[in-house]
Amino acid sequence: MPLLVRISILVLLALSVSGVLLATLYQNYRRKKAVEQGGESARHACAIIRNYMHSTGYREEIFQWTEQTQWDLYYLQDVFFPEVCAAMDLKYLYLFSIDEHQKRHHIVTVTNNISDQDNLHDYIQHYDQDMELPLQENEKEVLNRTKDSALQEVNNEFGHVVNCVMGYYDETGKLIGMIGADYDMELLMSNMRKDNSYLLIIGFSAIIITFFLVLIMIHIWVLRPIGDLSRHMRDFKEDKVLHLPKNTSHFQDEISDMETSFREMAMDLSNYVDDIQRMASEKAESDVQLELARRIQNGMVPPEKGYFGRGCSVYAVMRPALEVGGDFYDVFDLPMGKVGILIGDISGKGIGAALFMSIVHRIVRERLRTGMSPAKALKRANDEICRENPEDFFASVFAASWDPMNGKLTYANAGHNPPVRFGRKVEEIKVLPGDVLGLYDDAYFKNETMELEIGEGLLLYTDGVTEALNPRREAYGLDRLLEQVSGIEPDSKKIVNTIRNNVLDFEGENHIFDDITMIAIQRQGVQWIRMVPELSELDLLKECVMSNVEDQELAKDVMMSSEEWFVNIMFYSQAKSILFDIVRENQLIKVTFADDGVPFDPTTYIGEKAFEDLDTGGMGIRMIRDLCTEIRYERVECRNVVTLVFKQKKDIDAK
């Protein structure tokens, strides 16, 4: 319902109630004035009668019907009383006495209506002789000498009148009778009703005029300013620009206060929106920078990485607590067929820790690749970091050089968590703690060695694993880690993935507060990697190839040939399992597949099918021949053993 309609209803209701109230008060006032007017006329008539009777010497005898008084009574009854009654516009005028039994005795009774005079006289006599009517209150007041005259409004069988009674006394002051006069209220009320009709018309017209004047003033002073304010609010909502001029209200009132408050709110909101847009822009730019940093870090330290072949199996994962993290790991080739292994944890989180991580990672990695021992590489890295470390970051690092062929592991520790051995038994390896990198110029590091038997391995991890908290704020802990590793099949990939999932389940809904990084190395006597003939194994195949072939151009040829041969086995050989291995011997890369499918020798395949028959088998064998240097085939223990030989295009060890 519009505001104007609601205000109109309220104003009309208020005016109506006020009009009814005023009309009622005015009616009561008019009635009171009418009673006073009638009473005054009746009292004046009584005074005239009493004065006349006193002046003519009427005494107690006049109230007795005798021969001496009959002519006087006739005069009063037929002449004087009727003249006064008519002159004063009275309805009744009468003279009566009250005996000792307080009973009335009417002496003279006249009415303004001459035709009713005889009937009235008979009626009064009937009341005087046969009935005893109680005295009225005003009659009692005069009888008791409380008042000389008294008024009373009476509405009975004689009509609606204002009755006035006045005492009539003898020379001694004794009350000998009463003079009564009744003024007809019906006449006054009739006149009042006529006047009220005119007043009603005038009052209704005044209410209507007042109603419209009030609505006009409300519209000008209230609704129009509110409407303007509402329109400016809608405009501000749509275009966020304030169009409200100052002082649109004519008065300093609630509406002007609303305008002031809205103007201040709009200015604050505009500033707030500008701040939000600026922060959103800055956040978007920051998100882009974080995403770029995350990509760079993933390029340096991918979330998952596998390294298989040459008698070893290495698998690593990292999950940062924020977009970028301070943990790192690395697995890379070293001279003489050795494998370099790194894992580290930087103090702090975020981009600063990630930048410091990249510096530590690069320095230690490059020192190891030059042939330095782990302890010497850590020492050189510490010297460089301490010279340029304005933010006082530090890092814990575990560095190792591993020869998978004999299982010998040479390592040095820079304040990192000791590794966990798995295989024959699960235990924590006691290593020298060492100093963290970046804190002390004179930090000391020492090489230690250990040997891994075939099937044994090490699990390296950062403190984000053992310090992970569950919703009850309980730490994962070393004991739980050892217990979990004991129940997992000794396999580097299974151990890392199982522990990672177990830690995440342990944390539950909790947001991880530290990076989680793990790397597992395992010595393998048999270098075969077991696969099933399904497309999902292509990721593992790609991972093995890319982690063992550093020449990117050669890696593409090896990957394309290996993928093509794997697909041929999957679709055409009816094999149930596939064994895979990739090794590097001097300048050669050898990729070997062993499947339990139907016998097939690709070296004897002629490959001269029509184009439309190529999808029945053999598709791509010609491409494999073109990409690789040599194809070898053997049938060993019901298995097809195919070896693809590739010659390296450059000496990777000479890098």
Checking if the pLDDT of 86 tops 70, the result is: yes
pLDDT of residue 312: 77
Instruction: Provide the token pair at 417.
Output: 């968590």
Q: Is residue 337 packed enough to be buried (19+ CB in 10 Å), middle (13-18) or exposed (0-12)? A: middle
Length of the chain counted residue by residue:
655
Q: Are 491 and 557 in contact (CB under 8 A)?
A: no
Say how far apart CA 563 and CA 558 lie, in whole Å.
8
pLDDT band with cut points at 50, 70 and 90 for residue 528: confident
pLDDT of residue 495: 92
Say how far apart CA 494 and CA 477 lie, in whole Å.
20
What mean pLDDT, rounded, does the chain reach? Answer: 81
Q: Which residues pair with 328 in a beta bridge?
A: 344
Phi, psi for residue 157 in degrees, rounded to 5: -70, -15
Say how far apart CA 632 and CA 639 lie, in whole Å.
14
Q: Are 346 and 316 in contact (CB under 8 A)?
A: no
Q: Are 117 and 111 in contact (CB under 8 A)?
A: yes
Nearest Cα residue to 214 out of 5, 8, 3, 2 = 8
Q: Which residues pair with 614 in a beta bridge?
A: none
pLDDT tens, residue by residue, 88-110: 888 889 898 888 888 888 888 88
pLDDT band with cut points at 50, 70 and 90 for residue 246: low
* Residue scoring higher pLDDT (508 or 68): 508
Neighbouring C-beta atoms of residue 93, cutoff 10 Å: 28
pLDDT band with cut points at 50, 70 and 90 for residue 424: confident
* Residue scoring higher pLDDT (187 or 503): 503
Q: Are 233 and 243 in contact (CB under 8 A)?
A: no
Report the predicted TM-score, pTM, of the whole model to 2 decimal places.
Answer: 0.47
Say how far apart CA 182 and CA 163 lie, in whole Å.
5
> Which of 125-129, 397-401, 547-551, 624-628 has the highest average model confidence (pLDDT)?
397-401
Q: Are 443 and 375 in contact (CB under 8 A)?
A: no
Checking if the pLDDT of 63 tops 60, the result is: yes
pLDDT tens, residue by residue, 592-617: 898 999 999 888 876 555 444 444 44
* Residue scoring higher pLDDT (187 or 556): 556
Say how far apart CA 1 and CA 7 lie, in whole Å.
10
Strands (E), 208-324: 304-309, 312-319
pLDDT band with cut points at 50, 70 and 90 for residue 243: low
Checking if the pLDDT of 46 tops 90, the result is: yes
